[in-house]
Amino acid sequence: MEEYRDLFLAEAQEYLQNMTNCLLELEKDPSDNDQLTEMFRAAHSLKGMAGTMGYELITELTHDLENMLDHLRSGEITVGTDLVNLLFEAEDMIRFLVDNLESQEEYQGDVKALQDKLKNWEQFSPEKAAEAAQAGQVSATETEAAEDKAEPAAKEAQPDGSSVPKAEDIKISDLLNEFEKETLKEGMFKGENIYYIHVKLREDSLLKSVRAYMVVKAVEAQGELIKAIPSVQDLEDENFQDEFTLLLMGNPEAKELQSTIESISEIDQAHITLLDVDEELELQRDEEVEAAAAQPEQKEQRAPVEEKKEQVGKEALAAKAKDEKGDEKASPAAKKSRAASSLNRSGDKTVRVETAKLDNLVNLVGELVINRTRVVELGKKTEDEALEVSLEQLERISTDLQGAVMTLRMVPIKQVFDRFPRMVRDLSVEKGKDVNLSISGEETELDRTIVNQIGDPLVHLLRNSVDHGIENEEVRRKNGKDPAGKISLEAHHEGSHVVVSVEDDGAGIEPEKMKEKSIDKGIISREEADTLTDDEAVKLIFRSGFSTADQVTDVSGRGVGMDVVKTSIESLNGTVEVRSEVGKGSKFILRLPLTLAIIRTLMVGSAEEIYAIPIEAISENLFVEPEELRTIQGERVITLRDEVLPIYCLEESLGMGTFQEKEVYPVVVVQAGEKKAGLVVDELMGQQEIVIKSLSNFIKDIVGVAGATVLGDGRVTLILDVASLLEDGRV
């Protein structure tokens, strides 16, 4: 049975995610029977699987869940927030059990308690549901421990505040039910603000419902309307005097929002307070949550709640002590699993395929493409027209096949980006800074293998931005900046590359400071430092052993970060660049090829071997006469259109031979990042598309060699790693 465990886990996750999505949709639209049916189906399948695997607890629980859904389907009970909450609870518990297959038995008690609640389905019958909804509190599940308090940021001080409840008096829990609280929590993870909007209509207003409706619409355009008091329904039925309150979640400018609302005719005034909702809202998370900006003094760290956590962000919090906070009242599963990524509902449109099979397919197609090239070459030699036509078709079809297979490996970068909001949030809280992360272009697709490897460098860049880039609030205010720091993470396609950038509006990188630190660390000499331009000084950040942090924090500052980022990206055949302006911020730009497996190369001969140079690294080819070769300080150079170009003999650089005098030197001008040089070879042999084969672990770290390929005739040809060749120059 154990061999099926992985399969079970993978499928269970899918079903659970499916159920979550359905449940969310169902809550928005209780009449949507499709959601209900789908959810039922998912639960049923999950039950079957769990039963086959022998996981009794899961099977039973899912069975009870299924029952509930059945009662829903038959109309015996109706959808209400309490029911939905209970269903979510059940789902969380199932998910928790799935994540903890080994120790399932320990949770029998909790499961039993939950099952009892599920068995008590009649409480959700329409009559009972109406009663429960009124109170807005679910009795059985959680005990409300502390008082809920919300403190305002008090951005707009309104002189006439008489009818406006003081923000301190606002008790969020009194206003919201469980689901609304959950939605708030979700939003706060994502760094959204909560606005308490109190609107007063003119007393003589005639069309109150219309005006209210217009306000609601205006507000909804700026974010998510969490709650209306009285409810939207009542507003539309004019069941109110001339005041109402809205709770908005989003990130609009408060002033703008206010003027937008007040500009609606017959609105007397709108009072907007930014809510600082804290843990007393019983958020079962690890640290205090705060709304943006104005309340630095409310940053007390509270003892976090013990909880199942995702890997990301763990390191930042690992040091903190964790207390149990009333664990009996919380379902152990991470409630935020609900808030997590919105995976597309797979349904029947996808097939699960082992990555090994996919890789194999890609490999085979790669080989096919190589051989096709060869066949086409040979075909050209014969003058057979029929053959030529067939070959052309063959070429076209295999190119299409190649394209199609390449897309199999492409996945959206979203999977990597998804974990960052939480991470940045946790980190910014830890550092006591206010940082907003904005993400765009997450649907940009790249090769699966690259996606796997780009995570760590990005984590590092983001951490760096939060830790070193973004200044703390005081400094920011003093410099007239928004107290909340801004980091943008962006991805888009550019030709045959994917460009990912991390930009912050922080302190920027100071060239002078870089130079000083580098000299201190012995990375460069003073003389060298003096010759550097500002741009070059900024780039010192990529040298190993570098870190300007005065203290090593557990997040960054050990001086191993940026150079590792650079090498990781370069090992993916990509490049990393930095642009920075002191006081304004920094931008790190990563450029990665769309795919790893097949590249176009130029074949060159050198010392009786053939080498492949990736076309992307080549800027031009030349033939150099002996007279053009000069020497400067013992290094060979030529002048190329006003530029001095260092010349290396490929044989020498690889340690395979020495420079030989010739009548004319074929030179390949290569470039990696900012470095440029000319490589002298014996022969230029033409372009070829090749399949990259990785070198075994045994010999992975050979300087100058990026991989190998097999040519049509079976021989192994090495692919040159231009970046490392230019690093060392002549070895």
Question: 432, 365, 361: which is closest to 401 by C-alpha?
Answer: 365
3-class DSSP state of 351: coil
> What is the rounded distance in angstroms from the CA atom of residue 716 to the CA atom of residue 731?
23
Q: Which is nearer to other proteins, 529 or 708 (CB)?
A: 708
The nearest distance, CB 610 to other proteins, in angstroms, is: 9
The nearest distance, CB 368 to other proteins, in angstroms, is: 12
Position among 151, 717, 723, 726 found at the interface with other proteins (CB under 8 A): 717
| Residue 731 binds other proteins, judged by CB under 8 A | yes
Question: Reduced to 3 DSSP states, what percent helix, strand and coil does the chain have, rounded to the nearest 5?
Answer: 45, 20, 35
Q: Which stretch binds other proteins (CB under 8 A): 470-478, 564-572, 632-640, 716-724?
A: 716-724
| Residue 696 binds other proteins, judged by CB under 8 A | yes
Tell me which residues in 583-612 interact with other proteins (CB under 8 A): 609
3-class DSSP state of 682: coil
Tell me which residues in 617-656 interact with other proteins (CB under 8 A): 654-656
Q: How many CA atoms lie within 13 A of 219 on its CB side?
A: 30
The nearest distance, CB 124 to other proteins, in angstroms, is: 56
The nearest distance, CB 326 to other proteins, in angstroms, is: 48
How large is the C-alpha radius of gyration of the chain?
32
Give φ, ψ of 334 to 5 degrees: -70, 115
Give the β-pairing of 665-672 and 630-632: unpaired
Tell me the site size for other proteins, rule CB under 8 A: 25
| Residue 702 binds other proteins, judged by CB under 8 A | yes
Question: 541, 524, 548: which is closest to 577 by C-alpha?
Answer: 541
For every residue of 107-150, DSSP letters joined together read GHHHHHHHHHHHH-GGGGSHHHHHHHHHHT--SSS----SPP-E
The nearest distance, CB 660 to other proteins, in angstroms, is: 17
The nearest distance, CB 396 to other proteins, in angstroms, is: 25
Q: Which stretch binds other proteins (CB under 8 A): 128-136, 353-361, 578-586, 699-707?
A: 699-707
- Site track 317-356 with other proteins (rule: CB under 8 A), x = hit: ----------------------------------------
CB atoms under 10 Å from CB of 227, counted, come to 19
Please name the residues in contact with 91: beta carbons below 8 A apart, sequence gap of 6 or more: 16, 19, 20, 23, 65, 338
Residues annotated as catalytic are: 44, 66, 464
| Residue 410 binds other proteins, judged by CB under 8 A | no
Position among 28, 145, 715, 729 found at the interface with other proteins (CB under 8 A): 715
Position among 135, 139, 694, 729 found at the interface with other proteins (CB under 8 A): 694
Q: Which is nearer to other proteins, 432 or 655 (CB)?
A: 655
| Residue 704 binds other proteins, judged by CB under 8 A | yes
Give the β-pairing of 675-680 and 665-672: antiparallel
> What is the rounded distance in angstroms from the CA atom of residue 620 to the CA atom of residue 611?
17
| Residue 235 binds other proteins, judged by CB under 8 A | no
> What is the rounded distance in angstroms from the CA atom of residue 699 to the CA atom of residue 677?
26
> What is the rounded distance in angstroms from the CA atom of residue 450 to the CA atom of residue 593?
9
Q: Which stretch binds other proteins (CB under 8 A): 17-25, 206-214, 443-451, 702-710?
A: 702-710
Q: Which is nearer to other proteins, 146 or 364 (CB)?
A: 364
User: In the complex, which residues of this chain contact other proteins (CB under 8 A)?
Assistant: 363, 367, 609, 654-656, 693-699, 702-705, 708, 710, 714-718, 731
